[in-house]
Amino acid sequence: MGESYVAFIDALLAAFYPERGITVLNTGGSGNRVTDLAARWQTDVLDLTPDWLSIMIGINDVWRQFDDYLNPDQVTIDQYETVYRNLLEQTRKNLKGLVLMTPYYLETSLSDPMRKRMDEYSAVVKKLAGEFNAVFVDVQSAFDKYLAHRPTQSLCGDRVHPNKSGHMIIARSFLTSIGFDRKRAEK
Distance between CA atoms of residues 99 and 152, nearest Å: 26
Q: What is the mean pLDDT of residues 137-148?
A: 97
Domains of the chain: total: 1
Q: Is 125 helix (H, G, I), strand (E, B) or coil?
A: helix
- What's the pLDDT band for 68 if we cut at 50, 70, 90? confident
pLDDT at 137: 98
Q: What angle do CA 144, 180, 15 make, to 5 degrees?
A: 115
Q: What is the mean pLDDT of residues 94-116?
A: 96
pLDDT at 102: 98
- Read off the DSSP letter of residue 122: H
- What's the pLDDT band for 52 if we cut at 50, 70, 90? very high
pLDDT at 185: 55
**Kind of pairing between the strands at 97-101 and 52-56:** parallel
135 beta partners: 99
Distance between CA atoms of residues 56 and 102, nearest Å: 6
Name the nearest CA neighbour of 122 among 173, 67, 47, 186: 173
H-helix or E-strand spanning residue 77 = helix 77-91
Distance between CA atoms of residues 152 and 143, nearest Å: 9
Domain span including residue 38: 5-186
Chain centroid, CA 15 distance in Å: 22
In CATH, what number is assigned to the domain containing residue 104? 3.40.50.1110
**Kind of pairing between the strands at 135-137 and 52-56:** unpaired
Please, what's the b/e burial string for 137-169 (b: 16 or more CB within 10 A of its CB; e: otherwise)? bbbbebbeebbeeeebeebeeebbebeeebbeb
Q: What is the mean pLDDT of residues 40-69?
A: 94
* pTM metric for this prediction: 0.94
pLDDT mean across residues, the chain: 94
Q: What is the mean pLDDT of residues 98-108?
A: 97
pLDDT tens-digit readout, 5-29: 999 999 999 999 999 999 999 999 8
Cα distances (angstroms) measured from residue 183 to each of 150, 161, 176: 27, 30, 12
Distance between CA atoms of residues 94 and 46, nearest Å: 9
